[in-house]
Amino acid sequence: MKTILVAVLISFAYLTACSQQPTSQQAMHNPYYSRTDTQKLHVDNAAWKKILPDQLYAVSRENATERAFTGKYWKTDEPGTYYCAVCGNPLFRSGAKFASSCGWPSFFKTIRPNSVLYLADNSYGMERTEVRCGRCNSHLGHIFDDGPPPTHKRYCMNSVSLDFEADSMKR
């Protein structure tokens, strides 16, 4: 009986500790990644380059864009939360995700107003609004005014810039 109790306690401690760890491989090697810390980060690109995978660095720090219909989350419809893949900042709930047919994950609202920042983007001869993480200032994608009610917004995000945790994974 005592052995069973010890085994149960060890299992509980292990599961509790694991549930608080980052779920993505890249987040486990990133000392700035936290899903609970809301402090703004001021990390230079040289430090990010050392810890971020190449594609994530290119999109988040150099404003690159992944090809349409290639990202891991553009068709995901599972209930859960989307976080910034660079710093862990909560960005979107799956209830705000919709199928926009643009080839990137699209949302009509953020989790909270300060989850993201907005910047004018006039690159490539277009007038757009860039969306950046409100915590680490990483490029996430762009926002457009052609989304569904009630906001009529379409946050068009790069999958590589997002981490996803399904509700079934939360303990």
Which amino acid, one-letter code, is at 146? D
Between CA 117 and CA 72 the distance in angstroms is: 24
Which amino acid, one-letter code, is at 61? R
The residues annotated as belonging to the active site are: 156
Beta strands across the sheet bearing 162-166: 90-93, 80-84, 162-166
Which amino acid, one-letter code, is at 116? V
Encoded tokens for 161 = 């810039």
Burial label for 121, CB within 10 Å (0-12, 13-18, 19+), is: middle
